[in-house]
Amino acid sequence: MGKITVKQTSLDGVLLIEPQYFKDSRGFFVESYNKNDFSHAGITDEFVQDNHSKSQIGVLRGLHYQYPHAQGKLVCVLKGSIYDVTVDIRVGSPTFGKHFAVILHEDHPAMLFVPTGFAHGFLVLQDNTEVMYKVTDFYYPAGEAGIHWNDPTIAIPWPLDIIGVNSPILSDKDTIHPTLVELKSPFTYNKD
């Protein structure tokens, strides 16, 4: 049975998970999700839907959350790489408005667990990048919401220069999200 290593991040509840990779001359094998391993690590959420997106370099998807029917997410990169960002939007949290960023790469296949109460997004760093993520509630279009990717109070240092673009490729809806100051976050911090 594969083992996983779970690392805390700067945001309480957001976890970096490194499953055991079995590498050999053919490549590698990994159990990308194992209910027993995850529940032993304290992640007992039930995942009910798998999402899979493919993007070209320079695409930025986010910063998104869903409410009601908030979704926890388990994010992994199947191909290519992303600059993945999570923002704490739980009112009353000591890290409210703070972000955690990590590069997830096909060859450094850590996974990120994002609980409910956070906005999530990523900037794509290579062409034909494919991201797969499990979510803990179903898609609920009426509950789709977001925060502006370039919100000055969050001040995410998106590495646009590294990929040589001045501005990211966005969906129409991702150009008009409110800033965190304009938003009334529906999430509250519950330290238990």
Ligand X SMILES: Cc1cn([C@H]2C[C@H](O)[C@@H](COP(=O)(O)OP(=O)(O)O[C@H]3O[C@H](C)C(=O)[C@H](O)[C@H]3O)O2)c(=O)[nH]c1=O
| Near ligand X in 129-158, by CB under 6 A | 139
Catalytic annotation present for 148: no
Nearest to 85 by CA among 126, 123, 134: 123
Alpha-carbon 48 to chain mean position: 17
Q: Cα–Cα distances in Å, from 144 out to 14, 61, 68, 187, 188?
A: 21, 13, 9, 14, 18
- From the list 14, 57, 61, 70, which residue makes contact with ligand X (rule: CB under 6 A)? 61
Nearest-approach distance from CB 80 to ligand X, in angstroms: 14
Catalytic annotation present for 83: no
Of 33, 65, 83, 133, which is the active-site residue? 133
The answer to whether 147 and 184 have CB atoms below 8 angstroms apart is no
Nearest-approach distance from CB 46 to ligand X, in angstroms: 16
The answer to whether 119 and 65 have CB atoms below 8 angstroms apart is yes
Composition of the chain by helix, strand, coil, percent to 5: 5, 45, 50
51 binds ligand X (CB under 6 A): yes
Contact map string, positions 7 to 36, toward ligand X, x by CB under 6 A:
------------------------------
Residues interacting with ligand X, by CB under 6 A? 51, 53, 61-62, 64, 120-122, 139, 171
Supply the residues annotated as catalytic.
64, 133
